[in-house]
């Protein structure tokens, strides 16, 4: 409790720069690049020795990559007490003094605290950039702008709550990203395009559960694929149309998800990169891709594509891709 109070005080006195950066937009670093580390499916259980590998993964991959931003795409915790599990992770992430965004997975709110309650814990930490749009489905939906050296919007990062399980009678499996979330994205995208003289601004999207287009791409024998595909895509049975909206808006270059622990590949569907992060957790849940690690996405000022690779906990790098140059059909 004392440690959490300390972080709350630090958030008040030390985070002015972090929150102003969120309001004014993220910025390319002095080398003209911007590096994102995607951690996913930590499945952390405090007090479980198996879970320490997830903490080691966070330490090692961030030490190797030294990113400008961390995005965690869901399923952070996997046991009780939920608040202590989340605080342990946030203590570690905040100690890195790197801006971070947290998204929720289907398991996070199964251990006694709702998404909203977990979000309140996250908000108190320094270097947290996670926002949550009011009035639409889910928690931690957010839009983040990346500015060029002239202060112009150069890239947009859209983050969605992919929700959890289907609530429709007769439809089993996972839930989908809702129509109000898609409408919010379309309105934001249209606003950025209008402000940019009618030209869509290159964008990336992040969420936990892959949408059905991941399954369509996986079944396409002609689709280029780089990485490990050792598990069937666990997508919702119903398609709410987010991918179609992305194509209509013309801005999203890549979509990054987690959820399926034994996939870490990148493929392409209708010109949009569809990519899994690398499982970042430990043996508290199934995982056959070892060692664990993270996905890295590097943007370069003035370019609409990106570079991406998988960084493993042991330091090695695999599955490097320069998109779209390496995956043209």
Tell the residue number behind the tokens 């939920």, with chain if given: 82
- The pTM of this model reads 0.93
- 2 has pLDDT over 60: no
Q: Give ∠ CA 295-299-301 in degrees, rounded to 5.
A: 170
Mean pLDDT, rounded, of the chain: 93
CA distance 255 to 320: 16
Mean pLDDT for the stretch of residues 308-329: 93
Structure-token pair, residue 305: 């594509």
Share of the chain above pLDDT 90, in %: 90
- Give the burial string for 140-156 (b: 16+ CB within 10 Å, else e): bbbbbbbbeeeeebbbb
pLDDT at 327 (0 to 100): 83
pLDDT at 329 (0 to 100): 55
For 71-85, what is each residue's pLDDT tens digit? 999 999 999 999 999
pLDDT at 328 (0 to 100): 72
pLDDT at 8 (0 to 100): 43
pLDDT at 35 (0 to 100): 98
For 296-306, what is each residue's pLDDT tens digit? 999 999 999 99
pLDDT at 3 (0 to 100): 46
CATH of span 2-8+25-327: 3.60.21.10
The structural domains of the chain, with segments of one domain joined by +, span 2-8+25-327
């Amino acid at each position: 409790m004392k440690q959490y109070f300390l972080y709350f005080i630090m958030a008040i006195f030390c985070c002015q720069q972090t929150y102003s950066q969120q309001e004014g937009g993220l910025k390319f670093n002095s080398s003209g690049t911007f590096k994102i580390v995607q951690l996913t499916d930590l499945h952390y259980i405090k007090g479980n020795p198996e879970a320490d590998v997830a903490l080691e993964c966070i330490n090692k991959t961030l030490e190797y990559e030294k990113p400008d931003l961390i995005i965690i795409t869901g399923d952070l915790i996997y046991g009780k007490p939920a608040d202590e599990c989340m605080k342990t992770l946030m203590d570690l992430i905040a100690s890195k003094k790197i801006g971070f965004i947290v998204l929720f997975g289907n398991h996070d709110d199964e251990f006694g605290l709702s998404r909203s309650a977990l979000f309140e814990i996250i908000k108190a930490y320094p270097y947290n950039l996670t926002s949550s749009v009011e009035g639409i489905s889910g928690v931690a939906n957010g839009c983040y702008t990346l500015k060029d050296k002239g202060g112009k919007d150069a890239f947009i990062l859209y983050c969605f709550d992919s929700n959890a399980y289907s609530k429709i009678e007769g439809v089993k499996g996972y839930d989908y990203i809702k129509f109000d979330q898609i409408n919010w994205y379309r309105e934001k995208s249209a606003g950025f395009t209008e402000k940019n003289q009618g030209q869509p601004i290159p964008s990336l999207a992040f969420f936990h559960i892959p949408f059905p287009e991941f399954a369509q791409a996986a079944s396409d024998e002609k689709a280029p694929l780089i990485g490990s595909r050792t598990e069937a895509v666990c997508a919702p049975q119903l398609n709410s149309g987010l991918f179609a909206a992305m194509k209509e808006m013309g801005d999203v270059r890549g979509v990054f998800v987690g959820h399926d622990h034994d996939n870490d590949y990148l493929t392409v569907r209708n010109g949009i990169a569809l990519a899994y992060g690398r499982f970042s957790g430990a043996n508290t849940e199934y995982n056959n891709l070892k060692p664990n690690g993270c996905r890295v996405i590097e943007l370069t000022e003035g370019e609409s594509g990106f570079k991406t690779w998988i960084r493993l906990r042991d330091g090695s790098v695999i599955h490097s891709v320069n998109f779209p140059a390496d995956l043209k059909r």
